[in-house]
Amino acid sequence: MRRIFSGGVYEDRIGYCRAVVADGWISVSGTVCPPDPATGKPPAGVAAQCEGALAVIRRALAEAGADFSDTVRVTYMLPDAGEFEACWPVLRAAFGAHPPAATMIECGLIAPEYRIEIELTAWRAATG
């Protein structure tokens, strides 16, 4: 088993890692868009936050030797389900011809400035 860390502030505060790789499975923790270092806040707007969260997830998948085409399941969590449609073009661009099984949940997030959190499971056969 291998653990992947992204250096996000909540990883250390809460005590978790960005992703765990085990037997070809890649479990990516719930991920929000990282805050801007200058302001300490995430960008305004759910679509921009979706892009930022996907960028963090993309790096974790790459470190695990995978990419979005290896995604099996994804869960989107938003405090306002009405904002989800604004993310659809971003998600279509990320997953392209390899759409995963997906669920969207309306729920509270770790702080009110966050508009979306994304959790993902991927599978990539071990090579080498």
Residue, of 114 and 128, whose pLDDT is higher? 114
Name the CATH superfamily housing domain 2-123: RutC-like (3.30.1330.40)
* Confidence label for 99 from pLDDT (cuts 50, 70 and 90): very high
Extents of the domains making up the chain: 2-123
Q: What is the pLDDT of residue 128?
A: 44
What is this structure's pTM? 0.94
Mean pLDDT, residues 50-65: 97
Residues 104-127: what's their mean pLDDT?
93
The string of pLDDT tens digits covering residues 76-90 is 999 999 999 999 999
Determine contact, residues 124/58, Cβ cutoff 8 Å. Answer: no
d(CA 65, CA 93): 20
Q: In what order do the strands lie in the sheet with 2-4?
A: 2-4, 19-22, 25-31, 117-123, 71-78, 101-106
**pLDDT (tens digit per residue) in 4-47:** 999 888 898 999 999 999 999 999 999 999 999 999 999 999 99
